[in-house]
Structure 1
Amino acid sequence: MRLRTLLGDHPCTAALKDGSIKSNRVTFDFAEVSPTHKGFKPMVREQAFDVSEMAIVTYLMARSFGKPMVLLPIAVMARFQHAYALTHAKSPALTPAELNNKRVGIRSFTTTTGAWLRGILADDYGVDLNSIDWVTFEDAHVAEFHDATARAPQHKQIIQMLLDGELDAVLGEKSERPGLQPLFADAAADEKSWFAKHGVMPINHMVVVSETLSAAHPDVVREVFSLLRQSAVAAQTAAPQFSAAEMRRSLAMIVRYTAQQGLIPREFAVDELFDDLTRTFC
């Protein structure tokens, strides 16, 4: 069976994409989409792929609107988030706890990195997220979601707005440009202490399959999952490997953050994120 497939270039997908791991049961027709997140919208809105990488927050939102996708319990991208926030390089430096009532930019309010960072700011730094004047640059992948944030003018760029003083901070970005500095002054130390406190590696992207494929061809979905696992194992230490318990902790936390931020109407149980087939893979 030939499967329309969207997977980014990650250590854990390399063996699949270069053909060193293959199957006589399925063939992946890889779509050329760069950056990969540009393919999430057509997957959510048009079911453009049979197998697709998917930002976990986009999946949670899509699930809340009944989109016909099924989650596989495998992460293709996970990372600590503290380094993906910027502010001005001026004295005194703006600290995370001082973001209340500030003007903060983010590519889209519904990005997974944004959801993780907002959760961290609220839970660990006491930031009132509702006090912040959020400025966004793109709409949500899920068309049905009502985004009430202020939209930046079309000709504006997020980093330049920060440099020009039109924003106090931005989330989801890294930059070495003069005049900017990390919002978390020692991100590596903050990440280490955050992990010690929570025991969670934040998941950004997982993999989904179409609901039709899961219902009609469970053997194919089992093969897809097996191939993804083999490719992840081939990456060895180049990519984080999750135990079932670690994945559940990460999923439970991002579900809680996503619900608290109003991106989904309620907090799903982790088992609800899978169907009867893919739940057996956990």
Structure 2
Amino acid sequence: MADAPLHLALDNSPLTMPIKEAGALPDGTPLRFETVQPIHRAFAPMAREGRFEVSEMAIVTALQALAYGKPIVLLPVTLAARFQHRCLIRLASRPELTPAALRGCRIGVRAYTQTTGMWVRAILAEEAGLPAEAVHWVTQEGAHLAEYRDPPFTENRGKGRSLPDLLRAGEVDAAILGNDLPDDPAFVPVFPDPAAAAAAWFARTGIVPVNHVLVARRDVAESRGDTLRALMAALRANKPAPSSDGAPDLRPMGEAALRKPLAAVLEACQAQRLLPRAVSIEELFAPARELGLAA
């Protein structure tokens, strides 16, 4: 089994490109990468049917998969994270639209379950006193988990027009975008100085907003633990050196480093009706810990 290729779906990043280019782990295990672009298109087939042995997955999708009893194991490796204040945008011609003024407004987001949307809603709840139900959420897609149903304060408009187009047409008041933020002066962040707001938020909370983590099918985690440990070690070895200016580590790895951000994610998911039942931080890490994959 040690020589069998490991089937993975991972996005291109400084963490993953060295092993993608090598085509193998340092221990010689061959790697077979599935090409999925954008990477969020891999999340539903992994969560619903375990299509890959190992996959990148949005943390909200991973938590929902766990809550619905899917046979996946969360591995404590962050593959993507970012500060989220800049991801909430408005038309530049609407300068009066502040975070607090969004109560009762319509905000567009790709999916209600999108992790970027979860983080922005958590920030709005904390900093502007806006719980999720105080806003009407206009979505384009459903959840990656077939069992999940969006709450009643959402409206699925389908994929017909882009979120920037809906903003231009005045059909939403603001929108949440991640890697697809438009490079267009017609759009500006709702938070007036998002970099300063994010820095203040991190200084206050100490939380890195984790977006994507590593998951494995349960049968693979049970039968190929040595290979998964080698994969995790290879990804960890590709992390950039710590910043000399004390900037936060945007790739936290290991249970100890991830407990605080994932506890915050669990709290936000409960508040936003993203989970069908309560999930504890211990339940989240237990499978990896039992299999010796939590360090």
Contact 1:75 1:203 in 2 (8 A): yes
Give the aligned residue type for 1:265: P
Give the aligned residue type for 1:137: Q
Given candidates 137, 140, 144, the residue that maps to 2:140 is 137
Contact 1:256 1:267 in 2 (8 A): no
Task: Compute the displacement of 1:114 (Å).
Answer: 0.5
Contact 1:43 1:52 in 2 (8 A): yes
Aligned to 1:242: 252
Distance in 1 between residues matched to 2:293 and 2:136, nearest whole Å: 43
Distance in 1 between residues matched to 2:187 and 2:211, nearest whole Å: 25
Runs (5+) with no aligned partner, structure 1: none
Contact 1:163 1:180 in 2 (8 A): no
Contact 1:54 1:206 in 2 (8 A): yes
Given candidates 71, 77, 82, the residue that maps to 1:79 is 82
CA 214–91 in structure 1, closer or farther in 2 if over 3 Å, else same: closer
Aligned to 1:273: 284
CA 253–279 in structure 1, closer or farther in 2 if over 3 Å, else same: farther
Task: Compute the displacement of 1:24 (Å).
Answer: 3.6
Aligned to 1:180: 187
Within-5 A mapping of 1:1-282: 1-19=4-22, 22-148=25-151, 149-173=154-178, 174-232=181-239, 235-236=240-241, 240-242=250-252, 244-274=255-285, 275=287, 276-278=289-291, 281-282=294-295
Distance in 1 between residues matched to 2:72 and 2:162, nearest whole Å: 33
Task: Compute the displacement of 1:216 (Å).
Answer: 2.3
Distance in 2 between residues matched to 1:78 and 1:209, nearest whole Å: 19
CA 231–125 in structure 1, closer or farther in 2 if over 3 Å, else same: same
Task: Compute the displacement of 1:20 (Å).
Answer: 8.3
* SS class of match (1:114): helix
The share of aligned pairs that are identical, in percent, is 36
Contact 1:85 1:183 in 2 (8 A): yes
Distance in 1 between residues matched to 2:226 and 2:290, nearest whole Å: 10
Task: Compute the displacement of 1:11 (Å).
Answer: 1.3
Task: Compute the displacement of 1:211 (Å).
Answer: 0.3
Contact 2:92 2:188 in 1 (8 A): yes
User: Cα deviation per residue 1:219-270 (whole Å; 9 max; x = unaligned)?
Assistant: 22222222222233xx435973426544211111011101111111344222
Contact 1:78 1:203 in 2 (8 A): yes
Distance in 1 between residues matched to 2:95 and 2:123, nearest whole Å: 22
Give the aligned residue type for 1:191: A
Contact 1:99 1:132 in 2 (8 A): yes
* SS class of match (2:74): strand
Task: Compute the displacement of 1:181 (Å).
Answer: 1.4
User: Cα deviation per residue 1:128-165 (whole Å; 9 max; x = unaligned)?
Assistant: 32121111001111111012421115422211010111
Contact 2:121 2:131 in 1 (8 A): no
Q: TM-score, normalised by structure 2?
A: 0.88
Contact 1:89 1:179 in 2 (8 A): yes
* SS class of match (1:16): helix
* SS class of match (2:144): coil
Distance in 1 between residues matched to 2:196 and 2:122, nearest whole Å: 18
Distance in 2 between residues matched to 1:51 and 1:153, nearest whole Å: 30
Distance in 2 between residues matched to 1:91 and 1:136, nearest whole Å: 22
* SS class of match (1:18): helix
Distance in 1 between residues matched to 2:134 and 2:292, nearest whole Å: 39
* SS class of match (1:213): helix
Contact 2:80 2:251 in 1 (8 A): no
Give the aligned residue type for 2:131: D
